[in-house]
Structure 1
Amino acid sequence: MIAVELWTGEEALLLRSVRRQSVREFAQDLGISPRTVSHWRENTSRVCRPAMAQILDAALAQCTPKEQEAFRVRLAALRGEPVASVAAVAKPSPCVVVSHKFLPVYLGEQIGSLYAGGVPRPSGPGGMDQRVLPGGHRSAQVSKVHVYACGIAVVHLEEHQRVESLTELAVWRYRSYLKERTWAGNRMTRLLEQHSADGRAVEPSPDPEYVLSAYELREHSWAAPGLDTALQLLTTPSVLVNRQDPANVIPLGAGVEDAKFRDGWVHPEAVEFGGGTSRGVAGWSGVAYHPQPDERALTMSQIVALELDAQALWALSSHILHMIEDGQDPVMPAEYGWRFLRGAYSRLTTARPTETAQHRVMREAILATSELPDRLRAAQDALRDSNP
């Protein structure tokens, strides 16, 4: 995904040309007046205001890969740069990433004692009541247990990794998943025992069903094309490793990552987001983001806040759908029935007046690739049918 550091009328008109849209169509898609596009034609050197730059960043991020490539080539020509210099040779390289792991588990009514003992925390994008307990992980830089009143606990682990290649990171990722799921289940059980009101025995917590990762790419040496490939590979680590034996994940081969960089690997279902010089990719396996210092840039904390609520709601909807698959009528406490899910769905999918264009694109990308909205609707319908 090409980035534009300074939008002027010239770059804006270039974007319209690669999208092959009329003035009216382009203005309608951007939500602006056709007169604004006409002003760009009259004064191509006019610098766009920050709000307009955000709109153009979002429009460029939503272009197809073919349109983005055309924009990149034409922009290079516009600036008198040889195209080859823009498309520098990319290859595996050492980097530093901050790994965020999310491990959600359904605890149901047992959550009450943990919720009572947690430290209150402001609601996230989903608007759900939550509190926080210490995670107690030995090696993670940050480890917390986010306790949601609706019956879900989400373990959040932040770990800093310096690796020689993305294959090395992918191997670490999958090998750590098994032990982290077991650790999280044991940690939940210990917390339930510690917070039991009268010291009674508690039901052991199940292990989380899955782990989702979000990566913040920090130190690296890639130019734009290599950076885009790196972010794609961070969200699709399965293309770099052999997972036939989940307990012993190994690299596919020394030349696999080189080939991915050489060919500019892009997953067909991944969705890009970002803006300015910041870049992000959302996929089924997680999210990768490379922020740049900019007053318009998203922060990783905003992505983490959304993922915490998204993973909590995914686990809750999965519990409801599992009950149906097991032949049971789904039953939830009245305050967390279908109306609760409807409210969470609305809050997650509805844009807010204060939301920036970058934040909206990020939110939509994560929700689309997670398929959470569809699961929430299915769980909502199931609860409505059994608890009208």
Structure 2
Amino acid sequence: MIAVEQWTGKEALLLQQATRSSVRDFAQRLGISARAISYWKKAPGTVCSHDTAQLLDTALSRCNVEERELFRVLLANLRGEPANALADDSARPAPCTVVSHKFLPVYLGEQSALLYAVGAPGPTGPGGLEQHVIPVESHPARTSTVHIYACGIAVMHVEEHRRVDTLTELAVWRYRTYVKERAWAGDRISRLLQQHASDEDRVGLPPAPQYVLSAYELRHTSWTGPGLDTGLHLLSTPSVLVDRQDPGNVVPLGTGVEDAKFRARWTHPEAIAFGGGVSRGVAGWSGVAYHPQSDERALTMTQIVALELDVQALWALSSHVLHMIEDGLDPVMPTGYGWRFMRGAYVRLTTARPTETAQHRVMREAILATSELPDRLRAAQDALRESDL
């Protein structure tokens, strides 16, 4: 049995981490307000009241074996005591195989109609956005497709399989390729526009993709338990492993950093864990990581990619609207894609469906929360309504 003589914000937050709960879910689990958990983050040394301590004791007693073991290890680390709980091979850097998915969105506006007309119809994603897909010439190590949305957005999707010895190695590769991938994607989209434009069409040079978001499917690894949790968090938040002061020459942050993260069972406080059966996933601002298991209840990476494609398209579209407003301009949108379209996309993404599994709902909510897309959609919707679009 694990006993906590005095619950403070520190121990309470460790229990949240061990149960892999969001702030809202953990608050519901305890029967308290989410504000209390936010306060613990600001003042972790605060001693919990007697009533709150009892709620935490009850929550701990209801944890499963894995959650209790993770809490015990985290608590031992907090107290500076030896954990002696897990095999060393589960909590250290190790080789792994991942499938990297990069999403590079760009606003094309009316020009997107040229590519939409020649693309093959693609499946409608969770956001209900109509899209056509065009394969892009690449090399055998990866596949690339451009997803053209009728609302004026193109999203380049690049899939690559990689085997790495450490996650630091993967993080360096990831950041070093970002600048190149943005230029490459912009060039390919520009070539496609030129290729399919008629003599009457005036094709301008499209802007470069705004950013790159990554999603990783972790396929082969020796990590288990807390080691797997740390690996997924590092996959979704690689910035803690590298020095990015020179974007053109990102380098490892230092020797032993990744080892220290694994020893400490590190997890990012703002990332949100989700799962599907025995599978595990983590959503962060800069990426998503998922480790599927052979379980009929598990999510598939295809479901995650489908959601990310719609999320990235709507992020780019709402960014276009908000940037125009910030520049003192009236927003311009393709016909039929004004504030009502934004409202419909918001409702489809944020509303659970009767056929949606609990695992899919948790994944969707985690990605939407870390991307902050719902807030941007509402802001863009209000701006378009004020402009009568």
Residue pairs, 1:66-145, within 5 angstroms: 71-72=64-65, 87-89=86-88, 90-138=91-139, 140-145=141-146
Match of 1:336 in 2: 337
Between the aligned partners of 1:172 and 1:270, the Cα distance in structure 2 is 22
Which consecutive aligned stretches of 4+ in structure 1 deviate over 6 angstroms post-superposition? Answer: none
Deviation at 1:199, TM superposition (A): 6.8
Match of 1:379 in 2: 380
1:74/1:222 CA distance change after superposition, 3 Å: closer
Aligned residues, how many?
A: 330
1:191/1:20 CA distance change after superposition, 3 Å: closer
The one-letter code sitting in structure 2 at the alignment partner of 1:111 is: S
- Identical aligned pairs, as a percentage? 70
RMSD: 2.7
1:198/1:86 CA distance change after superposition, 3 Å: farther
Residue pairs, 1:1-388, within 5 angstroms: 19=29, 71-72=64-65, 87-89=86-88, 90-138=91-139, 140-198=141-199, 200=201, 202-387=203-388
Deviation at 1:69, TM superposition (A): 11
Between the aligned partners of 2:278 and 2:61, the Cα distance in structure 1 is 15
Deviation at 1:277, TM superposition (A): 1.6
Q: Note the alpha carbon deviations across 1:101-125, whole angstroms, 9 max, x for none.
A: 0000000000111000000112111
Between the aligned partners of 1:383 and 1:68, the Cα distance in structure 2 is 51
Asked if structure 2 preserves the Cα contact closer than 8 Å seen for 1:215 and 1:234, the reply is yes
Gaps of 5+ in 2: 1-16, 20-25, 32-55, 71-81
1:326/1:141 CA distance change after superposition, 3 Å: same
Deviation at 1:185, TM superposition (A): 0.4
Deviation at 1:141, TM superposition (A): 2.3
Asked if structure 1 preserves the Cα contact closer than 8 Å seen for 2:182 and 2:208, the reply is yes
1:74/1:113 CA distance change after superposition, 3 Å: closer
Q: Secondary structure at the match of 2:336?
A: helix
The one-letter code sitting in structure 2 at the alignment partner of 1:135 is: V
Asked if structure 2 preserves the Cα contact closer than 8 Å seen for 1:104 and 1:210, the reply is yes
1:146/1:322 CA distance change after superposition, 3 Å: same
Q: Secondary structure at the match of 1:377?
A: helix
Deviation at 1:204, TM superposition (A): 1.3
The one-letter code sitting in structure 2 at the alignment partner of 1:315 is: A
Between the aligned partners of 1:68 and 1:190, the Cα distance in structure 2 is 61
Deviation at 1:87, TM superposition (A): 3.2
Gaps of 5+ in 1: 4-15, 22-62, 78-82
Asked if structure 1 preserves the Cα contact closer than 8 Å seen for 2:277 and 2:359, the reply is no
The one-letter code sitting in structure 2 at the alignment partner of 1:355 is: E
Deviation at 1:333, TM superposition (A): 3.3
User: What TM-score do the two structures reach when normalised by structure 1?
Assistant: 0.80
Asked if structure 1 preserves the Cα contact closer than 8 Å seen for 2:66 and 2:225, the reply is no
Deviation at 1:305, TM superposition (A): 0.1
Between the aligned partners of 1:360 and 1:87, the Cα distance in structure 2 is 31
